[in-house]
Amino acid sequence: MTAVEFEAVRPLLKKMSADRIEAAHAALVDGETLQAMGDRFGWSRQSVNDAVRKVWRVLENYNESQRAAAEAVAASLPRGWEQVTLIAPRRLIAKFRGEIAQASGQPSRKSQEARKSRTTPNRKAGGLKPGSKST
C-alpha cells in the first residue's frame, strides 16, 4: 500500500486506536514485519495482522466507492466526453482550459472575465457608486 492510499483511508479508521493505525501503517507502508510490530507494541502477530486486514478492507471499500462515483460521473457526461485528472504547471492548465472551452463552443474563463469587466462599472475610475442612479 502506498503512503498516499493509506492517508486517503486514514479518516475512515475512526474506530481504530492510534496504536493499531500506527502498526498497520508500519506494516503496510513502511514494510515492517508483523512480528516486529507485535514486539514493538507488545501484541501478537495475529493482532497486528487483524489491524492490517481492517485497513485493507477499508481501502477496498474506499476504492469501490471511488469507482462507483467515477462511473456515475461518466454516465452523466455528454456523449463523446470523458473526465480526466490533469496534473501540470498552472500556465499549461489555463491554456488547456481555454482550448477545451474553444473546442466545446463554450466561452473560456478569460473571455467571460473580460466580458464581465467591460459590462461592470469601474467604481475607482468614476463609475457608478452604490445607490446612485445613472442618467
Q: Which domains does the chain have, with CATH numbers?
A: 1-77 (1.10.10.2690), 84-120 (no CATH)
For all residues of the chain together, what is the average pLDDT?
A: 85
> Looking at the predicted structure, is the pLDDT value of residue 134 above 50?
no
Task: Quote the cell numbers at residue 52.
Answer: 492490517
Over residues 25-84, the pLDDT tens digits come to 999 999 999 999 999 999 999 999 999 999 999 999 999 999 999 999 999 998 888 888
Nearest residue to 24 via CA among 4, 52, 56, 59 = 52
Which H or E run contains 21? helix 18-28
Average pLDDT over residues 98-107: 80
Which H or E run contains 66? helix 45-76
User: What pTM was computed for the model?
Assistant: 0.64
Radius of gyration over every alpha carbon of the chain, rounded to an integer in angstroms? 26
> Looking at the predicted structure, is the pLDDT value of residue 127 above 80?
no
Percent of the chain with pLDDT over 90: 59
Please name the amino acid found at residue 10.
R
Please name the amino acid found at residue 121.
P
> Looking at the predicted structure, is the pLDDT value of residue 130 above 90?
no
32 vs 43: CA distance, rounded Å = 14
